[in-house]
């Protein structure tokens, strides 16, 4: 990074530090803008990543999507363009130099609006690509991010200026090296756009049995094409995607309720508690009862 970028990076770091009052995710008064602070290396955290732009200003994070690893730290940004079940872990952080990050969530409609208003060339026939990428942080993106975050110091300006700065940031990403990946989510009829519709269907009905033929109809694809393109976008099959959603939901329910594992297994769609226990252990590293006891003891 040039000297000017280091200066701006430091300004963003100071702003995020000022507005992170506690460990973990900190909401801001700007809709869809969050800051994350972790003062130590974390255990793996399992969640569904919403479409978002993430910038790390201090520390390093590793994200796992299926068997793929995405590491990013200062000077990088990560974009996920569809909902993806991932495992995230802060791998570099200390109390004196905590992990600090900026996350801006967005919707396909925001991308559609920008593409409609600009002359960015698009191609609905482009092959589907993985709906997540790490790229080098460009100064034009950093400038827009700083402008947005500075608004926290002048809340009266947020209603007018925040939407403008958000649009600027997304526009810069769309014009960047991997902008074509983000474009695809918003292009009607593109492969990624159709797979996004399938993801929405699985998310709404993850506790029901998957009917692959119905999903293929939603995507207007053959069953074999659906499998191929779904894996290109998400790095997993529709069944694996559903399994991740079920197991993440089960873990949340086990943490928040006193129900036993067998009851939770049925509620998230499993017919066999033993299969649930095996798949739970495979994903989280411990059987359900042991895992929850371990988490609650922390």
Are 220 and 254 found together in one domain? Answer: no
| Residues 131 and 219 grouped into a single domain | no
pLDDT tens profile 43-91:
999 999 999 999 999 999 999 999 999 999 998 999 999 999 999 999 9
276 and 174 within one domain? no
User: What is the domain-level CATH number for residue 283?
Assistant: 1.10.10.60
- Give me the pLDDT at residue 3, please: 47
Q: What is the mean pLDDT of the chain?
A: 94
Task: Give the domain range for residue 55.
Answer: 3-184
Look at residues 239, 259, 275 and tell me which one is the last residue of a structural domain.
Answer: 239
Check whether residue 24 and residue 140 sit in a common domain. Answer: yes
End residue of a domain, out of 222, 239, 256:
239
Do 149 and 289 belong to one domain? Answer: no
The share of the chain scoring above pLDDT 90, in percent, equals: 88
Q: Please indicate, yes or no, whether residues 175 and 234 belong to a single structural domain of this protein.
A: no
- Residue 5's pLDDT band, with cuts at 50, 70 and 90, is confident
What CATH number does residue 18 fall under? 2.60.120.10
Q: Are residues 136 and 213 in the same domain?
A: no
pLDDT tens for each residue of 202-255: 999 999 999 999 999 999 999 999 999 999 999 999 999 999 999 999 999 999
**Does residue 179 share a domain with residue 44?**
yes
Residue where a domain stops, chosen among 184, 204, 231: 184
Average pLDDT over residues 133-148: 96
* pLDDT range class, residue 298, cuts 50, 70, 90: confident
Q: pLDDT digits over 147-204, tens only?
A: 999 999 999 999 999 999 999 999 999 999 899 999 999 888 899 999 999 999 999 9
**pLDDT confidence of residue 122:** 74
pLDDT exceeds cutoff 50 at 268: yes
pLDDT digits (tens, 9 = 90+) for 19-35: 999 999 999 999 999 99
Give the CATH number, domain containing residue 197.
1.10.10
Q: What is the mean pLDDT of residues 274-285?
A: 96
Q: According to the model, what pLDDT value does residue 124 have?
A: 64
CA dihedral sign, ordered 230, 231, 234, 240: positive
Number of domains observed in the structure of the chain: 3
Q: Are residues 114 and 8 in the same domain?
A: yes
- Please indicate, yes or no, whether residues 179 and 49 belong to a single structural domain of this protein: yes
Read off the pLDDT band of 142 (50, 70, 90): very high
Residues 292 and 149 in one domain: no
In a shared domain, residues 275 and 172: no
The pLDDT score that the predictor gives to residue 125 is 67
């Amino acid at each position: 990074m040039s000297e000017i970028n280091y200066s701006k990076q430091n300004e963003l770091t100071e702003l995020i530090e000022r507005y992170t009052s506690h460990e973990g995710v900190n909401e801001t008064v700007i809709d869809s803008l969050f800051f994350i602070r972790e003062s130590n290396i974390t255990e793996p955290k399992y969640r569904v990543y919403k479409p978002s732009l993430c910038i790390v200003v201090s520390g390093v994070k590793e994200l796992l999507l299926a068997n793929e690893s995405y590491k990013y730290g200062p000077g990088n940004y990560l974009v996920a363009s569809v909902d993806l079940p991932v495992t995230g872990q802060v791998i570099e952080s200390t109390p004196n130099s905590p992990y600090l990050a900026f996350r801006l969530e967005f919707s396909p409609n925001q991308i559609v609006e920008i593409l409609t208003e600009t002359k960015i060339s698009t191609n609905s026939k482009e092959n589907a690509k993985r709906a997540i990428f790490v790229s080098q942080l460009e100064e034009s993106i950093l400038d827009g991010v700083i402008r947005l975050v500075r608004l926290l110091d002048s809340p009266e300006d947020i209603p007018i200026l925040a939407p403008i700065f958000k649009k600027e940031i997304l526009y810069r990403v769309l014009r960047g090296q991997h902008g074509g990946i983000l474009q695809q989510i918003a292009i009607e009829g593109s492969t990624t756009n159709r797979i996004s519709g399938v993801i929405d269907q699985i998310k709404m009905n993850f506790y029901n049995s998957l009917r692959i033929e119905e999903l293929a109809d939603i995507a207007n694809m053959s069953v074999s094409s659906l499998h191929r393109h779904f894996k290109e976008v998400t790095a997993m099959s529709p069944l694996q995607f559903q399994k991740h959603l079920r197991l993440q939901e089960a873990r949340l329910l086990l943490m928040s309720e006193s129900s036993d594992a067998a009851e939770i297994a049925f509620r998230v769609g499993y017919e066999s508690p033993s299969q649930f226990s095996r798949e739970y252990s495979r994903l989280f590293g411990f059987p359900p009862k042991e895992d929850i006891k371990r988490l609650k003891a922390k």
